[in-house]
Amino acid sequence: MIISFEGIDGSGKSTQIKRLLTRLDLLGKETLYVREPGGTAMSERVRDILLDPSLDIHPFAEMLLFSAARAQLVKEKISPFHARGGIVVCDRFFDSTIAYQGGGRGVAEPSWLESFQLEVTGGVIPDRTYFVDITTETAESRLNIRFGEEKAADRMEQAGGAFFERVRNAYLTLAERHSERVCIIDGSGTENEVENAIWEDLSLYL
């Protein structure tokens, strides 16, 4: 099984991934955690480029870099583990490209991006995707608390409120279009409330 988590920066998805991995471990499930971009030696180098705030990267180049890192991750880590029957938990997958580079950057139409991403992943699609949804105002508040004045945000986190509003809207549209796979989770609640909402849904598929 492949489970992916999506959301705008500050949504709390990474916290929920840690909680889910703990639950699955207690059940004796064999799991693999991967993050995007990253997860392999090559993909981590691409991550450094993509998140470097000093670089001015063209939106289409950005999309291709994310896709290259993803292709390597699928080939090297996700597909082999999935083939052995393990549960792969992804901190972002190709829906991020559709929302961020498609909705946020306006790189291409969602239908083209979806087709391209299926080529990138060799047809690998998450069995269940959790979009942890929060408003851009909530996201901005959380990021301000996270970084304060001491630590600069990375290149993606510096994109601004209007960008993240477009990304969020793209996620909501995507969730409606793929409601059989994407589950919208209200991320405004407490960590326990969000965790329970995710588990209530996922337990139906395990």
Domain ranges for the chain: 2-202
| Choices 3.30.530.20, 1.20.1440.120, 3.40.630.10, 3.40.50.300: CATH for 2-202 | 3.40.50.300
pLDDT at residue number 148: 64
Q: Specify the pLDDT at position 139.
A: 86
User: pLDDT tens across 48-83, in order?
Assistant: 999 998 999 999 999 999 999 999 999 999 999 999
Q: What confidence score (pLDDT) does residue 147 get? A: 63
pLDDT for residue 144 is more than 90: no
Give me the chain's average pLDDT, please.
Answer: 94
At residue 49, φ and ψ (nearest 5 deg) are -70, -50
4-29 pLDDT, tens per residue?
999 999 999 999 999 999 999 999 99
pTM (two decimals): 0.93
Q: How far apart are CA 171 and CA 176, in angstroms?
A: 9
